[in-house]
Structure 1
Amino acid sequence: MLSVYEGFFSGGARIVHSDVVLGLVEGGQSHQVLSIHGEVRREATRQRMQDDACYRSLTAGGVGVTSLDRSAGLVDGSVAASVFSGPELAETARAMAGADVILSLKEQPLALLNQGGLPRRPVVVCLHRSDPENQGPALDELKAAIADGTVAACVCCAESTRDAYRAAGIPEDLLHVIPNGVDLLRFRPDPAVRIAFRAPLGIPADAPVIVFAARYATMKNVPLFLRAARAWLGREGGGHVLMCGAGMTDANPALWADIQVAFEGDLDVAERVHLLGVRHDMETVYAGSDVVALTSSSGEAAPLCLIEGMMCGAVPVTTDVGDSAAIVTGHGFVTPPDPGAIALAWSAAIAGRTDFAKTLDASRERFSRTRMIAAYADLLDRVDASYTGQVREELRPGLGGQEESGALGVLEVAEGDLGV
């Protein structure tokens, strides 16, 4: 298998996909990853592939990762996203030639995979949003790849994703829902970790804590979260708020401007907002928190922060976007996009945390990484078997009535026919 990433940068989709790849490797499949960009600048943060936690976990797990070494969003700029050089296409062809099935992390890499002259391989597109119309030209690239017969299936991480892409004109028979899952051994409540995490931040063991794990992006509605935080902190004299993710640092002037507007210069209260940036120990952050909050206005499908936070014992409170309500129902609260209502829900979540813990514990298997990976493996096996069968049928007349024995022989002939 070959996975093609737009790049390595902070975000739930890359975390889920990288975990899927590692899980499939653990199950015996062979995987490689090709990244279009070697570094990007997003959310006021320069993010190099080699520094990324997903890159490190993949390479540590024996997955080979290569890159076309493009740069995006940097001062020196980059060429147009849909224009690729001869060497870039040659590198892509080499990577594809060794794969039976290609996984595209979201639809953006299809701008590369749709280029002429590349090997023909079935592509499974992994979709992780609920707003295809806001993905620029990516939706058109997806439709072009489907029309060309390249796309064999689309994995939707949520029902809302399937509904949105179906409404956008993607054939329903290509859309398969595989809900996100997490490592239940890693993401779990841990009282000792909770205390150890809080101490360096000066947060008392009994203080109520809200965590907001998101990159600094418009869809996350950071101003709404901050207004809710101002209302809640003003009422909860001993409360603390944590903000994690790309752009959630002192170095982001846009975030500081949002904080100044939301807190109206009340620096005493604002001091209880902790900007933690990108963390590679989110299980620790969640275990140290009481509530995991999400205030997104669009784009979300099955937010990973809600699932990870819940599994660590933090009660989820979210706006109604994507599948968030379905994930949270019975485990936390869904709120309107109103700061006062959100603040009240945070307080109610903290008050009911003990009762919610029983429900969360009973539903852990629903959010299991094992279940997710098994579903991916089954779909990929079916795609591979179907493609191998199609190649066999196409080649049969030219084989003089003699079938090649096994998929490997068929694919080797297919590569020769296709000029790979």
Structure 2
Amino acid sequence: MNILMLTSSYPKYVGETTAPFIESIAIGLVRRQHTVQVVAPFHPHVRRAPVEHGVQLHFYRYAPHPALNVYGYAESLRADVGLRRTALAAVPFALTASLQALLHLTRRQRFDLIHAHWVLPNGAPAMLAARLCNLPLVVSLHGSDVFLAQKGWPLALSAAAIFRSAGAITACSSDLYQRALRLGAPPARTTVIPYGVDAHTFRPDPRAGAWVRSELNLSADTPLILAMGRMVYKKGFTYLLEAMPRIRAALPQATLILAGYGDLLEDLKDRARQAGVEDAVLFPGQLPRDRAARYVAAADVYVVPSVRDDSGNVDGLPNTLLEGMGAARPIVATRTAGIPDVITDGVHGLLVPERDPLALAEAIIRLLTERDTATRLGEAARRRVLGELSWDVTAERFEEVYRRAVERGNVER
């Protein structure tokens, strides 16, 4: 198939960690002998060749002023809660430009379907292009789009209209699937397709522990706790910081590495100081994927403390969770979002209630002290990744969804 994808985020350069799952889906489909062209907004930091890993990339310009180059790339929402004013101003320009980019490509060549990532904002221009070109539309939901659709009836009506036009809809978790159904997604056309993980990049590495401890000037026997992600409310890092005093009381050398970037970075540093654990928490910033893989492999316990934030936003399926599973790390995660879809408590990791620092602390201490349990859980997590959660499996599932959307479109025509 010749697939035309529309997205509002894509890794800006090789190894960058903004929406890496979009690139992985595209590459997985190319490996299955499909042609994939990706349309994404321009960003000043984009450094991509026209074709990478077989994926053809098109970055459209939309901003009449450089100050409005804030559309997509996890920059439109402030801490993933509210729209930035500049992003709101950029939306009409970006939607118009994205539609023009889609129509420009469809005039030049024949596509089998249009695949929009995030029903809001990309569903509307993709729907219009699909109608004008008489092409099937596939819409994939990733979390923040459904959150926006639930914020008010105009956005909910827009999402419902797009769902009605789509030949197929995918959600990355069962939680997101259920929320989409409540917004009007037809159950017969809606499918759960979990993300995958690159199990070659994120794999066990016996050398990583020494490498990371040396880089951070830590002693060889320092217990390492790692959490990674954007510094936004729904990641739940506040509760992990609140757990650290109890962890330190049990294991005085335990050190938390909190890697990532985002609006709440300085706030989280302040909270570490207020909790009296400033010396026990390291903030290395955003890590490129090769370094991130080493840090993940070095962790004695890997933590994903996601929550449903006060505004109702929640992760779809955290990519960082799958990366920890791929590296066979002992995982502590919250029982929220898509996490229970891939982690069975006591089998692939330990699940605790969200917003519960005491439960987080007790589970982390358990895995730091019961090393046989930690090893067993980590090995089971990697086995699940290898059997069910590779990007090749994900691409195969998308391929089947595409086939059904095309067949449905042929029948309706």
Which interval holds the TM-score relative to the shorter structure?
0.7 to 0.9
Q: Distance in 2 between matches of 1:371 and 1:146?
A: 25
Distance 1:367 1:205, change over 3 A: farther
Q: Which residue of 2 aligns with 1:25?
A: 30
Alpha-carbon contact 1:290-1:313 (below 8 Å) kept: no
Quick one: which amino acid aligns to residue 132 of structure 1?
V
Offset, 1:355: 2.8
Query: In structure 1, the residue corresponding to 2:29 is in which secondary structure?
Result: helix
Q: What residue identity is the alignment partner of 2:380?
A: T
Aligned length: 369
Is 1:48 matched with 2:45?
yes
Root mean square deviation, CA, Å: 2.9
Normalising to structure 1: TM-score of the pair? Answer: 0.79
Contact 1:8–1:38 at 8 Å: present in 2 too?
no
Which residue of 2 is the match for residue 65 of structure 1?
Answer: 57
1:7 aligns with 2:9: yes
1:380 aligns with 2:402: yes
Instruction: Work out the CA distance in 2 between the residues paired with 1:131 and 1:100.
Output: 25
TM-superposed deviation, 1:25? 0.7
Q: 2:360 aligns with which of 342, 346, 360?
A: 342
Give secondary structure in 2 for the equivalent of 1:31. Answer: strand
**SS of alignment partner, residue 344 of structure 1:** helix
Q: What percent identity do the matched residue pairs reach?
A: 21
Q: State the distance in 2 between where 1:81 and 1:111 align.
A: 12
Please give the alpha-carbon distance, in whole angstroms, between the structure 1 residues aligned to 2:326 and 2:394: 15
Q: Which structure 1 residue ranges, 5 or more long, are not aligned? A: 40-46, 392-420
Between the aligned partners of 2:241 and 2:286, the Cα distance in structure 1 is 18
Contact 1:182/1:307 (8 A) holds in 2 = yes
Distance change (3 Å), C-alpha of 1:130 and 1:260: closer
For residue 164 of structure 1, what is the amino acid of its counterpart? R
Please, which moves more after superposition, 122-131 or 373-382?
122-131
2:126 to 98, 106, 113: 113
Q: Which residue type is aligned with residue 357 of structure 2? A: P
By how many angstroms is 1:388 displaced?
Answer: 4.1
Larger Rg over CA atoms: 1
Aligned to 1:256: 266
Equivalence map 1:190-229=2 (5 Å): 190-229=205-244
Give how far 1:65 is off: 1.3
- Is the contact made by 2:227 and 2:304 (CA closer than 8 Å) also made in structure 1? yes
1:211-360 aligned within 5 A:
211-247=226-262, 254-264=264-274, 266=276, 269-279=277-287, 280-281=289-290, 282-298=292-308, 299-329=314-344, 330-336=347-353, 337-350=355-368, 351=370, 352-360=373-381
- State the AA in 2 paired with 1:27: R
Q: CA deviation at 1:211?
A: 1.2
Q: Distance in 1 between matches of 2:171 and 2:55?
A: 24
Matched AA of 2:52: A
SS in 2 for 1:66: strand
**Offset at 1:13?**
8.5
Shift of 1:262: 4.2
C-alpha distance in structure 1 between counterparts of 2:220 and 2:173, whole Å: 36
Tell me the distance in 2 between the aligned counterparts of 1:320 and 1:140.
Answer: 30
Distance in 2, Cα, partners of 1:258 & 1:166: 35
Partner SS for 1:49? coil
Letter paired with 1:112: P
The answer on whether the counterparts of 1:12 and 1:303 sit within 8 Å (CA) in structure 2 is: no
* 1:196–1:258 CA distance, 2 compared to 1 (3 A): closer
Aligned partners of 1:306 and 1:27: how far apart in 2?
Answer: 25
How far apart in 1 are the matches of 2:94 and 2:195?
A: 32
The aligned counterpart of 2:192 is 177
- Aligned with 2:179: secondary structure? helix
Q: TM-score, normalised by structure 2?
A: 0.80
